Amino acid sequence: MGSLAFTLDLIATFAFAVVGARIAINRGMDYGGIVLIALVASISGGTLRNLFLGLTPSWLTQPEYFVAVIVAVVFAILAPAKKPIGFFILSIDTFGLAVAVISGTQFALEKDASFYSAIMLGVISAVTGGLLRDVLCQVEPILLHRETIGTSSVMGASSYVLLDWLNVSTTLAALIAGLVVIGVRAISIKLDLHLPRVK
């Protein structure tokens, strides 16, 4: 894994682990449950991405992922929270989403995946952990009833692939694509935008 993709992976791992641990705490889980949810929320997406690419999951050979999760759990336990999901936690989740989309898409492109495969793998990297987290915590999965996560991930991954095709520098492409993810999710939450539903 390239240095940028690895760094982004660790950042996303930390962000998703913080959110997962915070939700587990709010659900009244014990320390074992908190750590489990943090792990599932943070490494599931990258694991599934690597398996689809025929590669060994990164956390099996790089212990830095577990260090990031443990630090995130300690942070979530010590950080005060007056609301179940406050602005701070939502911001961390959105930031993690953007980073995961970029790292997943870039990693797929590094492995010579086609443009549409890279987009799909970028989205999978970003949304899988949150989906499993919500299922295990017995809360309605955000991915299935609010389109802010899915749509913003697809748009961010598509932006990165397009910029890569245009030979834009990796750093600039990552920055722009990340801003697309954050911007689309922020606007859709603010204006309560989502895809049409069956009446």
pLDDT tens-digit readout, 16-33: 999 999 999 989 999 999
Phi, psi of 9 (to 5 degrees): -60, -45
Cβ atoms within 10 Å of 3's Cβ, excluding its own: 7
Q: What is the DSSP string of 67-116?
A: HHHHHHHHHHHHS--SSTT-HHHHHHHHHHHHHHHHHHHHHHHHTT--HH
Q: How far apart are CA 55 and CA 67, in angstroms?
A: 22
Prediction pTM value: 0.86
Given this model, what pLDDT does residue 190 score?
A: 84
pLDDT along the chain (199 residues), means of 10: 75 92 91 96 93 91 93 88 64 89 92 94 94 90 76 95 94 94 90 78
b/e map 18-42, b = 16+ CB within 10 Å: bbbbbbbbeeebeeebbbbbbbbbb
Report the candidate in 137, 19, 11 with the shortest Cα–Cα distance to residue 73: 19
3 state SS of 20: helix
Residue 143 structure tokens? 């991915």
Given this model, what pLDDT does residue 196 score?
A: 77
Given this model, what pLDDT does residue 83 score?
A: 54
CA 52, 63, 122, 170 dihedral sign is negative
**Distance of CA 187 to CAs 28, 41, 66, 193, 194, Å?**
32, 24, 33, 8, 11
3 state SS of 5: helix
Given this model, what pLDDT does residue 126 score?
A: 93
Residue 165, amino acid? W
